[in-house]
């Protein structure tokens, strides 16, 4: 008993050495109502997983990175001990003041989180990584891990220019998933052949008052200190004193597993869900999401990443899973793993590799040491023909991957007049190789990612700041070349007969009664019209889902000219617009993916313009419009 009392007194003394210190309003008197950067990202679990795991991969020491998602449900004494360890008495006073700040949109959520934390079990999520650098950097040092993750906004690591993130905004998802907008950090770092332990915390509250005192918003949990101007601040707690607090705060680190960082979200809550879900369900979805976006780093034989997801109910383990490559993304890993390559996609499981050229625009001279000039790089496209056993979710999509080890996007590709199923991977930058052109491509595609890192676009601020004109046109050319290559690999020979191939039998003439790939019982195509204006066909129509059941569906629009001999030509579609669904334009046709709750979609568009000689051909031939609806997953 005396030993337990002594340990308790030592812990309490350490906790008193740490406290929450909040910033006063600035001299301007301006106030803040929350975290603006949190609104950049969609509040879904996929976004959370992508940002958190990519942060860990970015800090790799060149060895296997291990990430553990650990959910804990705390009640009774375990909850009280945890709240005591994180300075709850002081934090609660500020939390209550912020919850009453009626002007802040975050206030109602804080009020609900505060009420739940005190009357019910408390949920926490700890994300810990090993094989990473950890929170290195001095207290106010820019461009280092500690400041970039724990304190600053729009601050990213200067010593890792080819990392996954590039804006310093992704960390905002951590506070978004806390009902109390509070996150704690611990880290084990190397220092001159020895280890040091660091502990810190940040609460992102809006402007609030406590008694007669006014506070700008953010609060910091650490060791009280003074600035050069004699103003109070909190700085990192270190070593033994910090570790004593970390044990009760569920932030202790395993020295045997090496350096890294633990991030603890206080009051875990999914902002995008109306009702709280069981932790086991959330844990299972996290495992699927990790596989979905990080299979390039998980796959054997040389994985860069290992991820575990665990759930504890007041100290008792109820769920534990190591993340494996799931069946939904297995076709992509099989495409990369095969040694048997074909020249064309003729049979199921055939794999073809093609090189896609890409010209990197010249960088502006102030952003690089080398001569500012365009560079020719190569991207590698690997496409695998699927089978009936392959999942439908990512069918006919290309996974875009660069050296960061994460899938940036599953880009849909529509191949007209082909029923083939395929899965593909486009390897860019350091995912393809390690020569100068690959490194330049890695830098370009990283700059082409917006803060959410979910696509490559030619209009980001970073591209405009670092590259001369041409990014947008080069990316559009890349998509055209990629889709054309896939079209060549998938296209079947079209017989030159008046009947045409079987898959064209569902096409209809303008003004006729349309059909679709799903059959008249499932879909109906109506109201199709078209007019020729200076060499451009303007078309429109409507697709209606007749079946009451069924999930997401899609339809393809292709324009076909039939000559007197019966042999026809496809007219490339340059524009396709709809009132619902996601539109993707391929080399000659367009595809629309429609959510399951939508039953009617109106479409319109244009064909590509032609010269005077081709216009004469337009006037002398029949125009056919192929509209092929079907439920996703159906042949």
* Residue 434 predicted with pLDDT over 90: yes
The confidence score (pLDDT) of residue 596 equals: 84
Q: Which run of H or of E encompasses 345?
A: none
**Which are the contacts of 241, defined by CB distance < 8 A and separation ≥ 6?**
14, 17, 18, 223
The confidence score (pLDDT) of residue 415 equals: 75
Q: What residues does 600 pair with on adjacent strands? A: 544
The confidence score (pLDDT) of residue 592 equals: 92
Topology of the domain comprising 502-631:
Immunoglobulin-like (2.60.40)
Among candidates 180, 204, 177, 200, which has minimal Cα distance to 189? 200
Q: What percent of the chain has pLDDT over 70?
A: 83
* Residue 473 predicted with pLDDT over 80: yes
Instruction: List pLDDT tens digits, range 288-340.
Output: 999 999 999 999 889 999 999 999 999 999 999 999 999 999 999 999 998 88
The domain locations on the chain are 2-322, 334-490, 502-631
* Tokens describing residue 423: 């899965």
The confidence score (pLDDT) of residue 184 equals: 98
pLDDT tier at 9, thresholds 50, 70, 90 = very low
* Tokens describing residue 405: 């080890």
Mean pLDDT, rounded, for 222-238: 93
Q: What residues does 264 pair with on adjacent strands? A: 126, 184
The confidence score (pLDDT) of residue 573 equals: 87
Distances in whole angstroms, Cα of residue 428 to Cα of each of 345, 408, 484: 22, 11, 18
Residue 597 has what DSSP assignment? T
* Residue 495 predicted with pLDDT over 80: no
Torsion over CA: 325, 327, 332, 338 (sign)? positive
Q: Chain-centre distance of CA 17, in angstroms?
A: 39
* Stated pTM of the model: 0.77
Q: Which run of H or of E encompasses 591?
A: strand 590-594
The confidence score (pLDDT) of residue 424 equals: 96
The confidence score (pLDDT) of residue 57 equals: 94
**Which are the contacts of 327, defined by CB distance < 8 A and separation ≥ 6?**
391
8 Å CB contact between 627 and 557 = yes
Q: Which of the two residues, 517 and 537, has the higher pLDDT score?
A: 537
DSSP string, 156-200: --TT-TTSS--SS-TTHHHHHTEEEEEEEEEEEEEETTEEEEEEE
Residue 150 has what DSSP assignment? I
Instruction: List pLDDT tens digits, range 118-130.
Output: 998 999 999 999 9
Mean pLDDT, rounded, for 203-208: 92
Q: Which of the two residues, 193 and 599, has the higher pLDDT score?
A: 599
The confidence score (pLDDT) of residue 552 equals: 87
The confidence score (pLDDT) of residue 259 equals: 96
From the options 3.30.950.10, 3.30.565.10, 3.30.43.10, 1.25.40.10, give the CATH code of 2-322: 3.30.565.10
């Amino acid at each position: 008993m005396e030993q337990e009392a002594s340990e308790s007194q030592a812990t309490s003394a350490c906790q008193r050495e740490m406290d929450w210190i909040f910033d006063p309003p600035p001299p301007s008197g301006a106030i803040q109502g929350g975290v603006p950067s949190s609104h950049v990202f969609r509040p879904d679990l996929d976004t959370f997983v992508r940002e958190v795991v990519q942060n860990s991969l970015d800090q790799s020491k060149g060895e296997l990175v291990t990430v553990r998602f650990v959910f804990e449900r705390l009640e009774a004494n375990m909850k009280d001990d945890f709240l005591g360890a994180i300075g709850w008495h002081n934090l609660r006073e500020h939390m209550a003041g912020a919850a009453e700040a009626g002007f802040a949109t975050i206030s109602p959520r804080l009020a609900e989180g505060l009420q739940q934390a005190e009357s019910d079990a408390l949920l926490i999520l700890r994300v810990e990584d090993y094989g990473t650098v950890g929170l290195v950097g001095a207290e106010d040092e820019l461009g280092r891990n500690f400041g970039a993750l724990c304190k600053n906004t729009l601050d990213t690591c200067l010593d890792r220019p080819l990392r996954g993130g590039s804006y310093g905004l992704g960390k905002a998802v951590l506070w978004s998933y806390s009902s109390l907008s509070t996150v704690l950090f611990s880290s084990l770092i190397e220092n001159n052949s020895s280890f040091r332990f660091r502990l810190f915390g940040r609460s992102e509250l809006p402007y609030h008052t406590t008694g007669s005192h006014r506070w700008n918003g953010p609060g910091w949990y650490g060791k009280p200190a003074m600035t050069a101007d004699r103003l109070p601040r909190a700085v990192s707690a270190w070593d033994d004193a910090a570790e004593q607090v970390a044990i009760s705060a569920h932030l202790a680190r395993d020295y045997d597993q090496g350096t890294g960082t633990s991030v603890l979200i206080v009051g875990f809550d999914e902002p995008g869900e109306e009702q709280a879900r069981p932790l086991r369900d959330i844990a299972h979805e996290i495992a699927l999401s990790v596989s979905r976006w990080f299979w390039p780093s998980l796959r054997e034989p040389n994985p860069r990443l290992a991820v575990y997801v665990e759930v504890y109910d007041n100290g008792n383990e109820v769920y534990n899973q190591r993340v494996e490559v799931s069946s939904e993304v297995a076709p992509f890993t099989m495409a990369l793993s095969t040694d048997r390559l074909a020249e064309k996609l003729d049979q199921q499981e055939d794999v073809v590799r093609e090189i896609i050229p890409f010209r990197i625009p010249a960088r502006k001279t102030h952003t690089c040491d080398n001569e500012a000039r365009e560079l020719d790089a190569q991207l590698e496209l690997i496409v695998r023909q699927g089978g009936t056993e392959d999942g439908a979710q990512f069918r006919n999509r290309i996974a875009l991957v660069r050296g960061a080890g994460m899938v940036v996007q599953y880009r849909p590709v529509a191949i007209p007049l082909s029923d083939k199923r395929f899965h593909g991977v486009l390897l860019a930058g350091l995912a393809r190789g390690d020569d100068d052109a690959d490194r330049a491509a890695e830098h370009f595609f990283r700059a082409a990612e917006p803060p959410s890192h979910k696509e490559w676009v030619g209009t980001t601020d970073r591209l405009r700041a670092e590259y001369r004109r041409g990014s947008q046109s080069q990316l559009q050319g890349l998509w055209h070349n990629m889709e054309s290559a896939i079209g060549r690999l998938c296209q079947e020979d079209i017989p030159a007969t008046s009947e045409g191939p079987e898959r064209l039998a569902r096409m209809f003439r303008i003004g006729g009664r349309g059909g679709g790939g799903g059959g008249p019982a499932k879909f109906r195509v109506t109201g199709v019209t078209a007019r020729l204006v200076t060499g451009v066909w303007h078309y429109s129509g409507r697709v209606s889902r007749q079946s009451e059941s069924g999930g997401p569906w899609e339809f393809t629009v292709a324009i076909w000219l039939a000559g007197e001999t019966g042999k026809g030509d496809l007219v490339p579609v340059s524009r396709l617009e709809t009132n619902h669904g996601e539109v993707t334009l391929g080399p000659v046709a367009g595809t629309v993916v429609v959510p399951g709750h939508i039953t009617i979609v109106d479409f319109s568009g244009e064909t590509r313009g032609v010269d005077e000689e081709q216009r004469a051909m337009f006037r002398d031939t029949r125009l056919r419009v192929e509209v092929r609806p079907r439920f996703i997953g159906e042949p």
